[in-house]
């Protein structure tokens, strides 16, 4: 760790603690586990943090607010280069904006309900449930897979740990990026490196439901056939989606029927 020459470009640990609401003891702990290493130390040995470290701390606190544990936060940050970090922040911003809007609607629903009941009135069913979030894809999933399968998937999600939630949030993207790199380098679907990534893909899918051989092959076909999956996975590169499908077929041969 270097010494700081220009203190105007850094902030001491006490100031960072005051600005962020994180105790100095916690900041020291983050340093010890390698989660947030200070930019430098001053001649008295105090930790000092630069702009990059403050941005990293913001992301740490944001991910902590989303319910992630420190180990999961460390893995999420380790995957990010500068451009990936900015993209992740954009995703967080979209998610938080949606949550803000959802809670605003819920607050309004509760306020209206209280005022209506205080007046002795009655809420219409439409107004009573206004603001509650409905998954637009749930009806389609129930139609395709059946109520039992969807209810089981919902039950699994409720039992996720913070690490499970982080793996579900980021796992597919990591697999897709890794496959794109391997495919660009000439790897075949049965390449051991490709199959290692597909093993992770199956593990992430299994957080929601556990597909056997036939179901996993069917999922790969769905990726190719459904334009929504193609757009989300391949980002316009249909060949990558087909590569994923072909690799899933290879992996399916190792799964129970």
Confidence class for position 6, pLDDT limits 50, 70, 90:
very low
141 & 236 share domain: yes
pLDDT at position 213 is: 92
CA–CA gap between residue 132 and residue 111 (Å, rounded)? 14
Confidence class for position 4, pLDDT limits 50, 70, 90:
very low
**With 90 as the cut, is the pLDDT of residue 27 above it?**
yes
- Strongest mean pLDDT among 22-31, 70-79, 157-166: 22-31
User: Taking Cα atoms as reference points, which of 175, 178, 174, 180 lies closest to residue 240?
Assistant: 180
141 & 246 share domain: yes
60 & 49 share domain: yes
Q: Which residue has the tokens 């199959």?
A: 195
Q: How many domains does the chain have?
A: 3
What's this model's pTM, rounded to 2 decimal places? Answer: 0.49
125 & 139 share domain: no
107 & 63 share domain: no
Q: What is the DSSP letter of 39?
A: S
35 & 116 share domain: no
Segments forming the whole domain that contains residue 105: 80-133
115 & 101 share domain: yes
């Amino acid at each position: 760790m270097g010494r700081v020459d220009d203190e105007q470009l850094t902030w001491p640990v006490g100031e960072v603690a005051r600005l962020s609401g994180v105790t100095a003891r916690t900041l020291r702990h983050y340093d010890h586990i390698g989660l947030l290493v200070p930019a430098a130390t001053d001649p008295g040995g105090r930790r000092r943090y630069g702009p990059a470290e403050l941005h990293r701390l913001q992301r740490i606190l944001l991910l902590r607010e989303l319910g992630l544990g420190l180990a999961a936060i460390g893995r999420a940050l380790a995957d990010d280069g500068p451009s990936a970090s900015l993209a992740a922040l954009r995703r967080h911003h979209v998610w938080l904006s949606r949550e803000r809007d959802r809670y605003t609607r819920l607050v309004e629903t509760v306020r209206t309900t209280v005022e209506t009941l205080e007046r002795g009135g009655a809420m219409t069913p439409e107004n009573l449930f206004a603001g509650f979030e409905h998954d637009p894809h749930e009806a389609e999933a129930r139609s395709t897979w059946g109520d039992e399968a969807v209810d089981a998937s919902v039950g699994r999600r409720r039992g996720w740990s913070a690490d499970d939630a982080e793996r579900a949030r980021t796992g597919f993207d990591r697999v897709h990026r890794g496959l794109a790199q391997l495919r660009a380098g000439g790897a075949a679907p049965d390449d051991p490196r490709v199959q290692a990534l597909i093993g992770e893909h199956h593990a992430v899918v299994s957080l929601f439901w556990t597909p056997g051989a036939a179901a996993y092959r069917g999922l790969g076909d769905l990726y190719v056939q459904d334009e929504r999956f193609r757009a989300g996975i391949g980002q316009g590169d249909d060949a990558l989606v087909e590569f994923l499908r072909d690799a899933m077929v290879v992996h399916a041969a190792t799964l129970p029927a």
